[in-house]
Amino acid sequence: MNIIICGAGQVGFTIARHLARENNSVTVIDQSPELVRRVNDNLDAQGVVGHGSRPDDLKRAGADDADMIIAVTFTDEVNMVACQVAHALFRIPTKIARIRHQSYLDPGWSKLFARDSLPIDVIISPEIEVAQAISRRLKVPGAFEMIPLVDDKVRLLGVRCEENCPILETPIKQLAQLFPDLNLVVVGLIHADKPVFLSQEDMMQVGDDVYFVVETNQVQRGMAAFGHDEPEVRRLLILGGGNIALLLAQEIEREYPWIKAKIIESNAERAAIVASMLSRTVVLHGDVLDIEILEEADVEVTDTVIAVTNDDETNILSSMLAKKYGAKRAITLLNKGTYEPLISSLGIDVVVSPRNITVSTILQHVRRGRIHSVHSLREGFGELIEAEALETSGLIGVPLRETDLPEGVKLGAIVHDGRVVSPRGDTVISAGDRIVVFAPPENVRRVEKLFSVRLEYF
C-alpha cells in the first residue's frame, strides 16, 4: 500500500516504522526538518518537509497514488483539513485522523464528519482510548495488561512473576498437564527486559513479564496460577484532572459503582470544572507532589493510584510518592518510551502508553485479511491480532502440528461456534473460526497472509 502519514512526532514515527517494516510504501510529512531527517535516517520511508494539509505538499508526497492518509499532527484542525484535501483533490480512499479536543467528538455534532462535510473514515481520540485502557486494567487487579478479545470471550493478560508464583521454573509444556481444564496459553515472555522466542522448554523466573490468553470465565484461576489474587479496587486516587482523568472518572461512575474515587488537580479553575461534571467523585485542588494533599486524599488507604498529568516526570514521581505513603498499586501514564526500562525498579506496577494505544488503534484499520483487532504490546515486542480464518487460509483443515507457523508466532485461542478452544497439536481450525495470535514484529506480515491466502502462495 502507498501510505501518507502527516506528522512525524512519536505516534507518526512509530506508525511509519511499523508500516515500512512490512514493505508498505510510506511517506511522512512534517514541518520540522529535524523530525523529517530522523525519518529518513532511521526508517525505510521517505520524509518530506511540508505542511500536511496543503495540496502542493500532499502532491509532493505522492497523494495522487496514495491508498491511505493517516493524519496525526499535534493540531486537530490540520488533521481534519488534511483528510478533507485528501478526499476532495486526490480521492484517497481511506482517511484516518487523530482528534484530541472533545468538543469535536460531542455526539451533538456528529454531522461534522459526514461524507459531505469532513469525510474522515476513522477518528482516533487518544484521551478516550487511554481512559478505556486504564479502566480495563481495573477489572483485573494484579495484571499490568488486559485486553478483551472475540467479544470478550477471551482475554489477554500481562502479569509479573513474583517470588510467590507457584509455576516458577516450570516448563511451559507442563502447564497443560498441571491445569488440564484451564484454557490458558502463554504467548509472550520478557526476561531481563528482553523478549524471549518461546519454546515448550522455557520456564518462568522471578521478575519475568508473562503474556497469556485465557478464557474470560477462567480469569481468576489463570491469575491464581501465576500467584496473583489481588482484591478488586475499592478506593482510587487519580493524580491530574485533564481530559483523561475526567473521562476515566465518568466511566468509573458509570461502570464501577462500588469504587470511591478522588482526583487531585493543581489548577483551581480546572478542578472546579471537573467537579461540576462528576457526581460521586471527590475533586481536590492541590499539587500531586505535595505530601499534605496526598494525605488529605487518604493515600494511605488507597488501593490504586493513577497518575495521568501531562508530564511524565510528574507522573513517575507522584506514583512513587503515593506508594511510599501507602498506596498499594500505581498505574502511570508515560508518553516517552525512554523511561519504560526503569519502571520495574521504581516500584511502578502498570505503565500506560498513549503512543502504543493510538498506534494499535490505527494499525487495526491498516491490516489486511479478515483482521478484527490489533494490539501493540510494548515497544517493538510484538502484536496481538484477532482474525477470522478464511476458506483460503493455509491454517484450515489440517492439524496445527502440520502447519508451518513463522518463528515466534503463537496461537493463543480459537473460538469455534462460540466455544473457546486452547490450541493443541491436534487442533484443526475451521473456516469462520476466530483466532487470537501473537506475532513478533518481523513476522506480522506473514501472519496477515495466513488469514488471506494459503501458505504455498508465499
Of 193, 225, 257, which residue is a domain's last? Answer: 225
In a domain, 131, yes or no: no
Q: What is the pLDDT of residue 87?
A: 93
pLDDT value at position 456? 39
Strand, helix or coil for residue 120: coil
**What local confidence, expressed as pLDDT, does residue 380 receive?**
73
279-326 pLDDT, tens digit each:
999 999 999 999 999 999 999 999 999 999 999 999 999 999 999 999
**Mean pLDDT to the nearest integer, 71-80:** 95
What's the helix, strand, coil split of the chain in %, to 5?
35, 25, 35
Query: What is the number of domains present in the chain?
Result: 4
Grid coordinates in use for 48?
A: 518530506
What CATH number does the domain containing 416 carry? 3.30.70.1450
Residue 379: predicted pLDDT: 72
CA pair distance 124, 100, nearest whole angstrom: 8
Question: What is the separation of C-alpha 427 from the centre of its chain, rounded to a whole number of angstroms?
Answer: 29
Query: Rounded to whole angstroms, how far apart are CA atoms 135 and 154?
Result: 17
Confidence of residue 452 (pLDDT cuts 50, 70, 90): low
Q: Residue 359's pLDDT is what?
A: 85
Same domain, 8 and 118: yes
Q: Identify whether residues 218 and 255 lie together within a single domain.
A: no
Q: Which of 191, 225, 259 is the last residue of a domain?
A: 225
Select the highest-mean-pLDDT range: 197-206, 294-303, 420-429.
294-303
Same domain as 109, residue 166: no
Amino acid letter at 214?
Answer: V
Pair (118, 183) in one structural domain? no
Q: Is the pTM of this model over 0.95?
A: no
Same domain? 259 vs 299: yes
Q: Look up the domain containing 405 and give its range.
A: 357-457
In this model, does residue 367 exceed pLDDT 80?
Answer: no
Is residue 130, in this structure, part of any structural domain at all?
no
- Domain membership of residue 361 (yes or no) is yes
User: What mean pLDDT do residues 219-229 have?
Assistant: 93
Name the domain boundary from 124, 142, 165: 124
- Give yes or no for residue 3 having a pLDDT over 80: yes
Binned at pLDDT 50, 70 and 90, residue 132 comes out as very high
Q: Which of 76, 145, 196 is nearest to 357 (CA)?
A: 145
pLDDT exceeds cutoff 60 at 454: no
Are 201 and 171 contained in the same domain?
yes
Residue 397 and residue 320 in one domain: no
Q: Are 376 and 356 in contact (CB under 8 A)?
A: yes
